[in-house]
Amino acid sequence: MDGFLNALVVFANFVFLPGLAYGAQLALGALGVTLVYGILRFSNFAHGDLMAFGTMITILVTWWLMGMGINFGPLPTALLALPIGIFGAVAMALFIDRFVFRFYRKQRSDGIVFVMASVGVMFVLNGIVRLIIGPNEQRFADGERFLITVKEFRDLTGLAEGLAVRLPVAITIVVAIMVVAALFWFLQRSKTGKAMRAYSDNEDLALLSGINPDRVVMVTWIIAASLATIAGVLYGLDKSFRPFTYFQLLLPIFASAIVGGIGQPLGAIAGGFVVAFSEVTLTYAYKRVLEYLGFAPDGLVQLLSTEYKFAISFVILVLVLLIRPTGIFKGRVL
Amino acid sequence: MSSRTRKLLAASVAGAAFLAASAAAQAEDVKIGIILGFTGPLESITPGMAASAELAMKEINDSGLLLDGKKLVSVRADSTCIDNAAATAAAERLVTTENVSAIVGADCSGVTIGIVNNVAVPNGVVMISPSATSPALSDIADNDYFFRTSPSDARQGKVISDVLGSKDVKTVAVSYTNNDYGKAFSDSFVSAFEAAGGKVTIAAPHDDGKGDYSAEVGALAAAGGEALVVLGYVDQGGVGIIRAAVDTGAFETFVLGDGMYGQSLIAAMGDGVEGSYGVIPGTEGEGATKFAEAATAAGLDPSSSYTGESYDAAALIALAMQKAGSTDRTAIRDAMLDVANGPGEKILAGDLARGLQILKDGGDVDYVGATNVELIGPGEAAGTYREYVIEGGEFKTVQFR
């Protein structure tokens, strides 16, 4: 019995908890991408760098708060700074929409033109973030690091293996649940949310029934930028902030959105966890888990070396597009 | 002859005389190239390295003894540490345009190999690297033009294996940075450790610059071991691996290669690295003390990485010139081992004037310098390492190996 429990604890420590946190972060990012796609009808390649921009503002405000001697007790100060970071990212998103995307909307340009414009926006944001905070790694997590450490867990349970629950992981999961609940309530129940869904379903019909398109676009950007900043800050707290890493997150985020069915908020969440758990479970070496279960494997029992993590997103993307282009939740076909 | 033609002629003559005069002035100057990664991953330590090399040059110039009063002039160039094409172009400029007599550099192993192959050997220029430690440089086809004042990582792998042996550690996991340095370092460590009867459960690479290393640590933890040997960079993936390993409780003791030494490690990890240990090239003795005094007086930090090695590289070039009695590139090469190794009068750092005088009088010197220079085999330092342990949030020296 002990063997089974130990196997379970090892699995939870190295696979389940990291996958859960990473999945929640991807899901929040993918929600933003999917909303922009559903309502504005283009793939926003600048989403990763919008995440980096919002996170950067949050970090700068966090440092300022720390400098003023303000902290959030056991919780990271960055949570206090988060609203200002969201505000900054929203302002930036609206600014970009006003001066870039609105022009193409007026022209009624093709989707591909929007996508290319968003690539340009991506590079500009990329540069701005590097100019302001630099290309290096920044760590801004403070407060308590652990809810429970490996040692405490071992002492508590008497098992040979320990389970560490880091505070940022717990925060990620709690915040993600809150945000997703609020978002779904907003989309399903509020008047603006309903207007957004109507606009997404059929633009012309929505316009005929008196929905103000400018307002829908504005609210979409506000939500997308807020989600991007929250996802970015949670990722940064859990792991670390580096502009290039955020740029790279674009791939798993798009994979998540497409796997779940692009344009489908529920799909984005499911897709986030599918991609995250695929990455973690396929690159984990199961030797120790199997040993506790009574097997004695010679090798490491690792399906793929950890360097292939990013390749997994690609493979999932290709497989989904080949086999079920609409994704799990029947989104639009790209 | 019209007055205008005469004026033109006079101007030409004056110009020619001026050129001749400046050429004469240049004949007194001997250019030494310093090619280091002033930009790139090592940019924080290269200014100290270049300044240390220039400190040795200044000491020689102040003595006025080099080849009847010739002056050394340093010409800096950027190796970028990682961009082979840029490094080769910079070295090409030093050798052809600046016409340097010898080169101090380069710093990173990858670009050093590139410069040796493409510039130093084809043009026949001596290169002394203070910090390229890849074992691949030991058997590079260099026509003896390449030297280094730092030891090969093959030696460091052996030293780490010895340290583990002395602590009776039998099984370890290895995580190395995914580049020339890390791969060769890991290979040499694994073969040394297994030859000594130890067992390496896994030797896996990690990529620098990622946000998350939990997957890498998951594999390392599955393989297990008494300690985790980390052969990476302290400001890069190496510390990421340690952080993830501490967070998940995968390993408690870390064994650190030279790239992992830095105050930032303790600042980042605190108690997590308490009791961990490692090695770093380092020497004790009179030469090191003398160098530390001279460097501190010149406003440099002598404990910064590879400063002593840089000083020694520049000093060796000057002594070899003096021994050869010329600034000819090949003559410098041929005299190098004579001045670096015995027999002869021992010359410490800060004592270069005496060395030049002895050589001028036809004597023999054995350059010891700041880092106990002894060039073995293909012209590389034998190498002494400082074994340290992290205790109470500080690096404590255990012994020299």
Distance of residue B211 Cα from the nearest chain A Cα, in angstroms: 5
Rounded Cα distance, A194 and A199, in Å:
9
Q: Is the pLDDT of residue B19 over 70?
A: no
- DSSP-derived 3-state class of residue A102: helix
The number of C-alpha atoms within 13 Å of A293 and in the hemisphere containing its C-beta is 12
Distance of residue B112 Cα from the nearest chain A Cα, in angstroms: 25
Domain definitions of chain B by residue range: 23-150+285-381, 154-274
Q: Which CATH superfamily does the domain covering B154-274 fall into?
A: Response regulator (3.40.50.2300)
Would an 8 Å CB–CB cutoff place B271 in contact with chain A? no
Tokens for A2, please give them: 């002990």
Residue tagged 């193409």 (tokens): A104
The per-residue DSSP string of B70-129 comes to: -EEEEEEEE--SS-HHHHHHHHHIIIIIS--SEEEE--SHHHHHHHIIIIIHHHT-EEEE
> How high is the pLDDT of residue B21?
45
Q: In this predicted model, what pLDDT tens digit does every residue of B212-245 receive, in sequence order?
A: 888 888 888 888 889 999 998 877 788 889 988 9
Distance of residue A319 Cα from the nearest chain B Cα, in angstroms: 23
- Predicted confidence band at B2 (pLDDT cuts at 50, 70, 90)? low
Which residue in A has a C-alpha nearest to residue B245's C-alpha? A14
Q: How far is CA B263 from CA A213, B275, B397, in A?
A: 56, 15, 14
Exposed e or buried b per residue across B265-296, where buried means at least 16 C-beta atoms within 10 angstroms of its C-beta: bbebbeebbeebbbbbbbbeeebbbbbbebbe
Q: In this predicted model, what pLDDT tens digit does every residue of B122-164 receive, in sequence order?
A: 999 999 999 888 888 888 888 889 999 888 888 888 889 999 9
Q: Mark residue A41 as left, alpha or beta (left: phi above 0; alpha: psi -120 to 50; beta: remaining).
A: left
Fold annotation for B23-150+285-381: Rossmann fold (3.40.50)
Distance of residue B210 Cα from the nearest chain A Cα, in angstroms: 6
User: Residue B293 in contact with residue B314, Cβ under 8 Å?
Assistant: no
Chosen for mutation from A6, A9, A14, A235 (greatest number of chain B CBs closer than 10 Å) is A14
User: Residue B56 in contact with residue B308, Cβ under 8 Å?
Assistant: no
The percentage of residues in chain A with a pLDDT greater than 90, rounded to a whole number, is 59
Q: Is the pLDDT of residue A113 over 60?
A: yes
Would an 8 Å CB–CB cutoff place B246 in contact with chain A? no
Q: In this predicted model, what pLDDT tens digit does every residue of A280-313 receive, in sequence order?
A: 999 888 888 888 888 888 777 888 888 888 889 8
Residue A315: which residues within 8 A CB-CB, separation 6 or more?
none
Q: Is the pLDDT of residue B8 over 80?
A: no
> How high is the pLDDT of residue B146?
92
* Interface predicted TM-score of the whole assembly (ipTM), two decimals: 0.80
User: Which of A240, A288, A309 is facing B221, going by the closest CB pair?
Assistant: A288
Among the residue ranges A65-79, A149-163, B24-38, B322-336, the one predicted with the least confidence is B24-38
Residues of A near B (Cβ–Cβ under 8 Å) read 13-15, 18, 22, 137, 139, 145-146, 149-151, 162, 164, 166, 235, 238-242, 244-245, 279-280, 283-289, 300-302, 305-307, 309
Residue A64: which residues within 8 A CB-CB, separation 6 or more?
A81
Of the candidates A267, A72, A306, A329, the one whose C-alpha atom is nearest the C-alpha of residue B241 is: A306
Q: Cβ contact (<8 Å) for A309 and B202?
A: no
Exposed e or buried b per residue across A98-134, where buried means at least 16 C-beta atoms within 10 angstroms of its C-beta: eebbeebbeeeeeeeebeebbeebbeebbebbeeebe
> How high is the pLDDT of residue B23?
45
User: Which of A244, A286, A306 is facing B216, going by the closest CB pair?
Assistant: A306
Fold annotation for A2-323: ABC transporter involved in vitamin B12 uptake, BtuC (1.10.3470)
Q: Cβ contact (<8 Å) for B209 and A244?
A: yes
Q: Is the pLDDT of residue B312 over 60?
A: yes
Q: In this predicted model, what pLDDT tens digit does every residue of B254-310 receive, in sequence order?
A: 999 888 887 778 888 888 888 899 888 777 778 888 888 889 998 888 877 788 899
The number of C-alpha atoms within 13 Å of B134 and in the hemisphere containing its C-beta is 19
pTM of the model: 0.75
Distance of residue A208 Cα from the nearest chain B Cα, in angstroms: 47
Which residue in B has a C-alpha nearest to residue A164's C-alpha? B248
- In this structure, the strands spanning B277-281 and B254-256 are parallel
Looking at residue A35, its amino acid is: L
Q: In this predicted model, what pLDDT tens digit does every residue of B322-380 receive, in sequence order?
A: 999 888 899 999 888 888 887 888 888 888 999 999 998 888 899 988 888 888 877 88
